[in-house]
Structure 1
Amino acid sequence: MYRRRDTRRERLVAEIGAELRRYSVDAQHIGHAFANLHGLNATDLQALIAVMDAELVGRPITPGRLGEQLNLSSGSVTALIDRLERAGHIRRDRDTADRRKVFLHYAERGAALAMEFFRPLGRRTDDVMAGFDDDELEVVHRFMTAMTASMREHRDAVRAARDEPARRANG
């Protein structure tokens, strides 16, 4: 039987796809290890990452926005925040300009635990990036940004399709 030879690009695309899957699985294992070590569930971990990401860009997240990101009801978000706050992972701060608005921040204890656990991975990441020049890093950054956006679009489409039967039943 005749078998078509793969082009270099097809092989490279397939290899990148496989590496992305392996990276995703390994990242999940590391995240679950941290969560298990500190008595967190998967949603707790997602919430902590959302709080950290918001702080890294200088725009602390509100409980409402966290609920949107995690696709949780307001009651579930309140229970989640209460649980993470009691465990010392996050804290609530009122906006100085509008006291009705609440922002979520990493608490010192939670930040220290995360730093201790993830510091070795951060060093490994720095070591890997040191092997790339600035132009290569710009390409990698562009690729990762596009892949993340594509993944989020797919996540949102899956959520919308999952939620559609409930909307039709209630509408």
Structure 2
Amino acid sequence: MDRMYAGMRGDMDMNTTDLAAIRMLVIRERHGEVVKPHDIARHLAISTASTTKLLDRLSAGGYLRREAHPDDRRSRIVVLTDAARAEFFRHFGARLGAMREVMTAFDDAELRTVVRFLADMEVAMLEP
């Protein structure tokens, strides 16, 4: 994943944190979730000051915009631009297709084993 994102960072001319924020916004958007700046800060484990700089940078680059929250006008949300979404999928789409092609060589039982392995590794990496 790190190598894939390194390639995408180069393709999209952005740093790791910027790309991670874009990816988070794509995923949350697909789930119909609104994203506030503090959601990004928490997800990326960065300070509010760093989040503001990140959002300023991505806004200036045309990747996102800040809008009023649909239910609470005092609050702001972060929304991808159409151009950012299209660019992300243009770069990620080919990689995603290649990953899906590799997965077709595995049966359901093998994939369950891989998923279990990765879940166990995630827990092991997060524990002190």
Q: Tell me which residue corresponds to 2:84.
A: 110
Q: Tell me which residue corresponds to 2:107.
A: 133
Q: Which runs of 5+ in 2 are unaligned?
A: none
- CA 1:56–1:137 in 2, change beyond 3 Å: closer, same or farther? farther
Larger Rg: 1
**What letter matches 1:86 in structure 2?**
A
- CA 1:132–1:120 in 2, change beyond 3 Å: closer, same or farther? same
Superposed CA offset, 1:86-114 (max 9, x none):
21222323221111232323221111111
Measure, in 2, the Cα distance between the counterparts of 1:54 and 1:145. Answer: 21
**What letter matches 1:74 in structure 2?**
T
The 8 Å contact of residues 52 and 105 in structure 1, kept in 2 or not, is answered as no
Higher RCO structure (Cα 8 Å, ≥6 apart): 2
Q: Spell out the pairing of 1:55-134 with structure 2 (5 A cutoff).
A: 55-134=29-108
The 8 Å contact of residues 91 and 107 in structure 1, kept in 2 or not, is answered as yes
Structure having the larger proportion of residues in helix: 1
Identity %: 28
TM-superposed deviation, 1:150: 4.0
Count how many residue pairs are aligned between Structure 1 and Structure 2: 128
**What letter matches 1:52 in structure 2?**
V
Measure, in 1, the Cα distance between the counterparts of 2:26 and 2:116. Answer: 22
TM-superposed deviation, 1:65: 1.8
Measure, in 1, the Cα distance between the counterparts of 2:29 and 2:121. Answer: 22
Q: Which runs of 5+ in 1 are unaligned?
A: 1-26, 158-171
TM-superposed deviation, 1:149: 4.4
Q: Tell me which residue corresponds to 1:48.
A: 22
Q: Tell me which residue corresponds to 1:38.
A: 12
Measure, in 1, the Cα distance between the counterparts of 2:16 and 2:94. Answer: 22
Superposed CA offset, 1:102-149 (max 9, x none):
232322111111111122211111111222233333333333334334
The 8 Å contact of residues 68 and 75 in structure 2, kept in 1 or not, is answered as yes
